[in-house]
């Protein structure tokens, strides 16, 4: 597994992360097997959120691993806060309370990374800044980031927050390429040219923010997996063709397509299947050619201008 060195930090993160959103539904034995498989494959970065499984994903993660300092030192743990029932909340009070809750459930004294989970329309960046400083100074959180935020939202935060925003978690897969489409179709009067995200891809590259693509196997908004799906015959034909030529699975190619982008993204795989974890990690050892990358992009139904 290749690692990504996050600039101006001591973070050396696996270029593929395991998302733990769905593990609350698993037995402790299955969770332990899943996490150990990830570690054996070289994944050292695990993504959580306080709302996953109503908090049970964090709790069962720690319980299944019998979390201890010896276990904790083997991994980097990221969690997210800010989503509450029916509203978003980036208030100082809620951020501090949410982190304490996550630390308790995860049975750890610190988080490697905390993300603000989706934008809060009522955000007061001064409060975010206060909470981040308290969390960093107390040793409860080392580094910070956001999810699903556009450039101006991040700029608003960084005007007040002294800690660098290091990560932005964004939906991106072979079938969800809006942030890529807009850059390819500049100056075109067609739907793919519409910039819905404020050039977030280029912005993150300019600012040194690591994009973490979520749902890398999904199409739409959690509508299903595109791999081996009859709704995407041309795409699967092309993926299977390239997978066969490289001696890997179609799962590996789906992740390799994201890793091929020079932005040095860190895909988050949310699978609970240990074999799919292994298949995904094959992507770290292959590099798609430029023609192969574009062939897959076009096979997903995208047209080049």
pLDDT band at 8 (very low <50, low <70, confident <90, very high): confident
Convert the pLDDT of each residue in 73-85 to its tens digit: 999 999 999 999 9
**DSSP designation for 177:** -
For the segment 125-151, the average pLDDT, to the nearest whole number, is: 98
Model pLDDT, residue 248: 98
Residues with Cβ within 8 Å of residue 262, at least 6 apart in sequence: 205
pLDDT band at 204 (very low <50, low <70, confident <90, very high): very high
Q: 3-class DSSP state for residue 220?
A: coil
Which residue carries 């800690």 as its tokens? 163
User: b/e string for 260-293 if b means 16 or more Cβ within 10 A?
Assistant: bbebebbbbbbbbebebbbbbbbbbebebeeebb
What whole-number percentage of the chain has pLDDT above 70?
Answer: 100
DSSP letters for 185-202: TTT--SGGG--SSSSHHH
- pLDDT above 90: residue 289: yes
Q: How many Cβ atoms are within 10 Å of 71's Cβ, its own excluded? A: 15
- Taking the mean position of all CA atoms in its chain, how far away is CA 250? 20
Q: How far is CA 89 from CA 81, 110, 125, 178, in A?
A: 8, 21, 12, 27
Model pLDDT, residue 63: 98
Model pLDDT, residue 190: 96
pLDDT band at 120 (very low <50, low <70, confident <90, very high): very high
Element (H, E) at 243: helix 233-246
- pLDDT above 90: residue 281: yes
Give which of 285, 284, 277 is closest to 18, Cα–Cα.
277
Q: How far is CA 134 from CA 30, 121, 142, 216, in A?
A: 36, 23, 11, 34
Give which of 196, 91, 199, 96 is closest to 155, Cα–Cα.
199
pLDDT band at 109 (very low <50, low <70, confident <90, very high): very high
With beta carbons less than 8 A apart as the criterion, state whether 37 and 77 touch: no
Rg (the chain; Cα; Å)? 19
For the segment 193-222, the average pLDDT, to the nearest whole number, is: 96
Q: Domains of the chain (ranges plus CATH)? A: 3-299 (3.20.20.100)
Options 52, 143, 203, 219, the catalytic residue: 52
Element (H, E) at 284: none
Model pLDDT, residue 222: 84
pLDDT band at 278 (very low <50, low <70, confident <90, very high): very high
For the segment 62-68, the average pLDDT, to the nearest whole number, is: 97
Model pLDDT, residue 23: 98
pLDDT band at 7 (very low <50, low <70, confident <90, very high): confident
Q: What is the pTM of this model?
A: 0.96
Is residue 203 part of the annotated active site? The answer reads no
Model pLDDT, residue 114: 98
For the segment 166-189, the average pLDDT, to the nearest whole number, is: 97
DSSP letters for 148-160: S--HHHHHHHHHH
Model pLDDT, residue 4: 95
With beta carbons less than 8 A apart as the criterion, state whether 165 and 144 touch: yes
Convert the pLDDT of each residue in 18-51 to its tens digit: 999 999 999 999 999 999 999 999 999 999 999 9
Convert the pLDDT of each residue in 227-260 to its tens digit: 999 999 999 999 999 999 999 999 999 999 999 9
Q: How many Cβ atoms are within 10 Å of 131's Cβ, its own excluded? A: 26
pLDDT band at 273 (very low <50, low <70, confident <90, very high): very high
């Amino acid at each position: 597994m290749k690692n990504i060195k996050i600039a101006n930090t001591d973070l050396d993160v696996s270029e593929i992360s395991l998302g733990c959103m769905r593990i609350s539904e698993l037995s402790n034995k299955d969770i332990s097997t899943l996490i150990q498989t990830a570690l054996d494959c070289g994944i050292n970065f695990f993504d959580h959120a306080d709302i996953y499984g109503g908090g049970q994903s964090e709790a069962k993660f720690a319980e299944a691993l019998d979390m201890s300092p010896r276990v904790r030192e083997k991994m980097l743990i990221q969690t997210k806060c800010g989503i509450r029932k029916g509203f978003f909340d980036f208030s100082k009070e809620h951020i501090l309370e949410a982190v304490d809750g996550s630390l308790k459930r995860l049975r750890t004294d610190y988080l490697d990374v905390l993300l603000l989970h989706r934008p809060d329309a009522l955000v007061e960046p001064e409060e975010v800044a206060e909470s981040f400083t308290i969390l960093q100074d107390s040793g409860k959180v080392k580094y910070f980031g956001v999810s699903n935020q556009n450039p101006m939202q991040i700029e608003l935060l960084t005007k007040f927050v002294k800690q660098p925003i290091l990560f932005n978690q964004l939906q991106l897969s072979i079938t969800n390429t809006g942030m890529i489409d807009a850059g390819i179709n500049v100056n075109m009067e067609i739907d793919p040219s519409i910039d819905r995200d404020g050039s977030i891809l280029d912005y993150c590259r300019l600012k040194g923010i690591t994009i973490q693509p979520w749902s890398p196997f999904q199409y739409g908004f959690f509508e299903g997996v595109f791999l081996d799906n009859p709704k995407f015959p041309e795409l699967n034909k092309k993926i299977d063709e390239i997978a066969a030529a490289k001696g890997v699975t179609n799962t590996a190619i789906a992740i390799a397509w994201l890793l091929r982008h020079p932005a040095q993204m860190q895909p988050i795989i949310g699978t609970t299947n240990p074999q799919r974890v292994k298949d995904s990690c094959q992507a770290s050892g292959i590099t798609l050619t430029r023609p192969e990358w574009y062939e897959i992009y076009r096979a997903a139904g995208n047209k080049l201008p």
